[in-house]
Structure 1
């Protein structure tokens, strides 16, 4: 891949991982009848924003995740109180717009002082209009407009906290599930792109070259077809090729490869200790069957899940140092290097990241999906929810700690890049 392709594929990969995770939350929240106020990719200041239907879709500055903001999860930022003067627009005998500022500039509205209102259950507003008390029904999708922003009201039956525990849990759990499904698909796709070794291969190719290795310095390139080594014709004898290299530690070897239809003669000396030259030889590949693809995807999911939890274990018991952890910068750096190896390798790496993202989000760490599911589980056992203010505080503190950790590991990433 060229540099532009690598950059585009890297950005697309991260966008896919985060977007699908958040789409899982979004889709099942909508299925449960919850009002989704915002679907965001990234955190921090908005770079792009567009509203479609009831939801605002935003792209934010910091590409370190995303979120789906549902009505009722957090205190609503716009409140209307009795005694407040405002203006309303009525259509078909129901209030569709409630204006809180710049009242003199509004046309076609009713202006008055709020005497009573209920924007969650009974959906009405009572105004004193020039000394007369008027009562208006409020449309369930009415907008409150203030400071140039519009916020849709959230009747009680559209709020996250008033849905059954099962529906709320599904809306939260769906995010990680989407990552697991994506990982399974990507592992299978990676095998389809790469293929499986043919049992009757008649050729040996160079499937990869280690950067700065003996082979790379000698001029070996990826996809070279091996013709002979030290005058011995290789054909499809993969084992013979490896044996000659390993037995020539510290001795010069002559390698003939076919590249773009032409024979290229190369000379190099395998490492005197290991007998290696830094290549990944492989035979011919064939297209895998559907059964092989599904089996490979399932096996890869199982194997990588074990590796990920082993990494968590080492981190908990101090077998990793903080400097060993990588943040967004290091992850991007590794992704770029893998993308240079080819689409199959990048697809496999994306599958690993998607699996990791799903597992990590299910950990019972405040602000993550796992913590929110834990609170829902406690609510199901107790028969009543935990104080929403206390739960919000736990998630807020957890989010702040995660952001602090992100800053530290990003700092380590940058220092590592400078040192290298």
Structure 2
């Protein structure tokens, strides 16, 4: 019974969410590649042995594979699923056939095809957020302080009950969530909080404290806190509704917030303001999928949007075997006027593969450590 609950509560939501995101990502590659005249020989959701599939009239094998941790589009002339060109095979092709390979296409067509995958993930996230905001609206609260926690950064800076936060480091804010989002990714980083008190604006320098909190599912999360709380009376909790166009704009904003928050987190890792044990892998994603599924459909869809942005950003990392690595190669080609040699590319791909596998092992180790802890 416990195994059945685990499978239906965690594994199935995880596979469904990840498969959707992988399908959209690979469809971006496929559609733009097809538009550019580049043929594809395989479109797979998942890696490893094929479970089920069919071949269309264009010769593309569409399939679902056994390991649901990614996917790929294999283009005509590719040596492997990471789009490493098969130099020997391409060298024996006619010029007409070479033009239909990824390696033989014009530089801008290759770049567009590679970039289309991450872009598709960003578009999906924007669309999901736009639909959620159109259907459910957005609960917001005014940035008015109802309580200042003792010994907090806000208390030390002199924040008082009733203060309205109006700016953070000079940037105007409108909601309490703006405060949370800004502060959470700036632990141990000096900031200036501007509050409105008795009709006057007062600048209060403070340093958010790095804190570990426990969410409703018992997961430990590390972030920056300044120690202020609002309530329904002072915060004026309400649901803001949006027209379709406003919802799209809000979706773009929300996606942008995730992107900037991710870069801030990476910066915090580099500077040591946050610990690397916050990095999660497939196990943590599966856990989060199950937890969100227990909250309802809207929560799962919102998680899918967040993960879609994450997948888009991950694939844009300048690491060979990832889309970002290919784009770096194309940038070098544009500067040099010719591509890197096949030997150099092969070495770079091997290094990139080792980096990606190392990251996956590290993230999985964190996942297991968190589960045991």
Which residue does 1:366 correspond to in 2?
A: 320
1:158-169 map, 5 Å: 158-169=100-111
Which residue does 1:120 correspond to in 2?
A: 93
Mapped to 1, the partners of 2:303 and 2:348 lie a distance apart of 33
Q: Does structure 1 residue 294 correspond to structure 2 residue 258? A: no
* Higher RCO (C-alpha 8 Å, min separation 6): 2
**Between Structure 1 and Structure 2, which shows a larger proportion of strand residues?**
1
Tell me the alpha carbon deviations over residues 121-179 of structure 1, each in whole angstroms, 9 at most, x when there is no partner: 28xxxxxxxxxxxxxxxxx9xxxxxxxxxxxxxx2222211111000100001001101
Which residue does 1:62 correspond to in 2?
A: 67
Residues 9, 290 of structure 2: 8 Å contact kept: no
Q: Secondary structure at the match of 1:386?
A: coil
Q: Does structure 1 residue 329 correspond to structure 2 residue 334? A: no
Residues 45, 61 of structure 1: 8 Å contact kept: yes
Q: CA deviation at 1:17?
A: 0.7
Mapped to 1, the partners of 2:364 and 2:140 lie a distance apart of 43
Residues 28, 170 of structure 1: 8 Å contact kept: yes
Going from structure 1 to structure 2, the CA distance change for 1:334 and 1:10 (only over 3 Å counts) comes to same
Mapped to 1, the partners of 2:43 and 2:303 lie a distance apart of 26
Mapped to 1, the partners of 2:140 and 2:283 lie a distance apart of 38
Q: CA deviation at 1:19?
A: 0.6
Going from structure 1 to structure 2, the CA distance change for 1:387 and 1:299 (only over 3 Å counts) comes to same
Mapped to 2, the partners of 1:63 and 1:318 lie a distance apart of 33
Which residue does 2:260 correspond to in 1?
A: 306
1:7-406 map, 5 Å: 8-53=12-57, 54-74=59-79, 76=86, 120-121=93-94, 155-196=97-138, 285=239, 288-406=242-360
Q: CA deviation at 1:413?
A: 1.5
Report the count of equivalent residues: 273
Instruction: With the length of structure 2 as denominator, give the TM-score of the two structures.
Output: 0.64
Mapped to 2, the partners of 1:29 and 1:185 lie a distance apart of 22
Tell me the alpha carbon deviations over residues 352-372 of structure 1, each in whole angstroms, 9 at most, x when there is no partner: 111121122112122111110
Tell me the alpha carbon deviations over residues 13-43 of structure 1, each in whole angstroms, 9 at most, x when there is no partner: 2111111101111111122222212112222
Mapped to 2, the partners of 1:55 and 1:393 lie a distance apart of 29
Tell me the alpha carbon deviations over residues 374-415 of structure 1, each in whole angstroms, 9 at most, x when there is no partner: 111111121111112321331232123212321232233224
Tell me the alpha carbon deviations over residues 234-268 of structure 1, each in whole angstroms, 9 at most, x when there is no partner: xxxxxxxxxxxxxxxxxxxxxxxxxxxxxxxxxxx
Going from structure 1 to structure 2, the CA distance change for 1:36 and 1:392 (only over 3 Å counts) comes to farther
Q: Secondary structure at the match of 1:160?
A: coil
Q: CA deviation at 1:61?
A: 2.6
Larger radius of gyration: 1
Mapped to 1, the partners of 2:38 and 2:56 lie a distance apart of 16
Residues 10, 287 of structure 2: 8 Å contact kept: no
Q: Secondary structure at the match of 1:288?
A: coil
**Between Structure 1 and Structure 2, which shows a larger proportion of helix residues?**
2
Instruction: With the length of structure 1 as denominator, give the TM-score of the two structures.
Output: 0.58
Q: CA deviation at 1:282?
A: 9.8
Mapped to 1, the partners of 2:339 and 2:51 lie a distance apart of 36
Residues 169, 376 of structure 1: 8 Å contact kept: yes
Mapped to 2, the partners of 1:162 and 1:275 lie a distance apart of 59
**RMSD between aligned residues:** 3.4
